Amino acid sequence: MSETKEKMVSLADQLIRVRGFNAFSYKDIAEPFDMKNAAVHYHFPAKADLGIGVIQHERNKFATNIAKWKKLPEQEQLQHLIEVFRKHCHAGNICLMGSLSTDYNTLAPEMQLEVQGMAEDILHWLSHTLENGRKHKQLHFHGEAIDRALMIMTNLQASLLMSRVLGPEIFTRISRQLLDDLIP
Amino acid sequence: MSETKEKMVSLADQLIRVRGFNAFSYKDIAEPFDMKNAAVHYHFPAKADLGIGVIQHERNKFATNIAKWKKLPEQEQLQHLIEVFRKHCHAGNICLMGSLSTDYNTLAPEMQLEVQGMAEDILHWLSHTLENGRKHKQLHFHGEAIDRALMIMTNLQASLLMSRVLGPEIFTRISRQLLDDLIP
DNA sequence: TTGCTTACTTACTAGTAAGTAAGTATTTTT
DNA sequence: AAAAATACTTACTTACTAGTAAGTAAGCAA
């Protein structure tokens, strides 16, 4: 992917997180590059292509991250995940999954599939990490790991939504409670 | 409020939950009523007025609900709340708070204030209900009630988002785990 | 019966949306 | 040196956006 394309994907990522997929246009991409609308269409023929680019970039980044964390104790892997969300909270972003889930019904089918894939990626990794953490006495919870992964995932996702409305204190409270529950 | 206005608010509520505030237009309101665009502007001069109407209606409905549940054991009050979300999940809706939080940065300031108020309403009630439930040995959790309220609220909110992407099984799992944690 | 209110329609503005077709300048490949 | 690919611009279309101004028909109120 060319440098311009990558920078456009990065900008679109920001716009999706800050304003939502249906609340930005090619104009918002073109202007910061001092280009015309049509130049963006040259790189991404349809808006869905840009959206798919953003999701695939995020999925790759996630894959890189979990590979990097692989050797760490599960407790620390989880803290790294929370740290990713904390940074987004600080920047006023919500998570890509949350933003695109809200707009899900208005997305092109190819984009919906990518969103689905991203959700499965995260849940798959999280439930495995939780299961291993329990086996190694690093993490403590009852019930199935997949259920606990769903609880944690929804906590993190919506914590960014609520922080946007009620302030970053919300995220601090939720992430602290999350760790207190798993590491008593 | 006239009957027409109320029906328009109800339709807008649906559209916000299914497609998002920025993904419907006055045309989507006017057409089902066999009216012209301008007729909707007669009832709601700006789109924000319609949005505020929707939020206020929801806040009133919530106030009516919690008043109705007031005398019940806290365990049952919580089950009633979950039931509200279950019905929305079944209908393919996400919660109003979740939808409008995503679009928060693009909303008019008067609408942002209403969203804030709605969030505070729910959290206030939920943390009090949890605190009372613990006092009456109905509900079991550790930490502050406000923190637990945040955990449960985010679980429910994002469960609808994830159900939209991965199917209604997600909601079933989350709501079951939620109750298993509080009522061991 | 005159005047006011309610609930619209018609016709419009001004701006934005995604997307396309044809042309151009620069660089790369053959 | 010619051909082709790259990265755009110019100019356009079609469709929709929120919002407004002026007019109208029906009903009610003094």
Reported as a single tens digit per residue, the pLDDT across B90-105 is 999 999 999 999 999 9
> How far does the CA of A39 sit from the C1' of D9, in Å?
8
Structural domains of chain B ordered from first start: 47-182 (1.10.357.10)
Cβ atoms of B171 and B163 closer than 8 Å: yes
Structure tokens at A69: 């964390």
- The parts of chain A modelled with pLDDT lower than 70 are none
Q: What residues have CB less than 8 Å from A89, skipping those under 6 apart?
A: A159, A160, A163, A168, A171
Cβ atoms of A147 and A174 closer than 8 Å: no
- Residue A83 to residue A72: CA distance in whole angstroms: 15
- CA of B108: nucleotide with nearest C1': D18
B47 touches strand D (CB under 7 A): yes
> In chain A, what residues touch B161 (CB-CB under 8 Å)?
97-98, 101-102, 154, 157-158
Give pLDDT, residue A132. 98
Give pLDDT, residue A184. 86
Look at A105 and B18 and tell me if their CB atoms are within 8 Å: yes
Structure tokens at A132: 């291993």
Give pLDDT, residue A149. 98
> In chain B, what residues touch A92 (CB-CB under 8 Å)?
105
> How far does the CA of B42 sit from the C1' of D23, in Å?
15
- Residue A100 to residue B4: CA distance in whole angstroms: 32
> How far does the CA of B51 sit from the C1' of C4, in Å?
30
- The parts of chain B modelled with pLDDT lower than 70 are none
> In chain B, what residues touch A158 (CB-CB under 8 Å)?
98, 153-155, 157-158, 161
Nearest CA in chain B to A175: B151
Give pLDDT, residue B158. 98
**How close does chain B come to A168, measured CA to CA in Å?**
13
Give pLDDT, residue B19. 95
Give pLDDT, residue B184. 86
Give pLDDT, residue B149. 98
B26 touches strand D (CB under 7 A): yes
Look at A103 and B102 and tell me if their CB atoms are within 8 Å: yes
User: Which residues 13-42 in chain B have a CB closer than 7 A to strand C?
Assistant: 34-39, 42
Q: Residue A44: which of A75, A16, A7 has the closest Cα?
A: A7
Cβ atoms of A36 and A61 closer than 8 Å: no
| Alpha-helical regions (H) of A47-183 | 47-69, 74-90, 96-102, 109-135, 145-166, 169-182
CA atoms within 13 A on the CB side of A18: 11
Q: What residues have CB less than 8 Å from B147, skipping those under 6 apart?
A: A173, A174, A176, A177
- Residue B162 to residue B89: CA distance in whole angstroms: 10
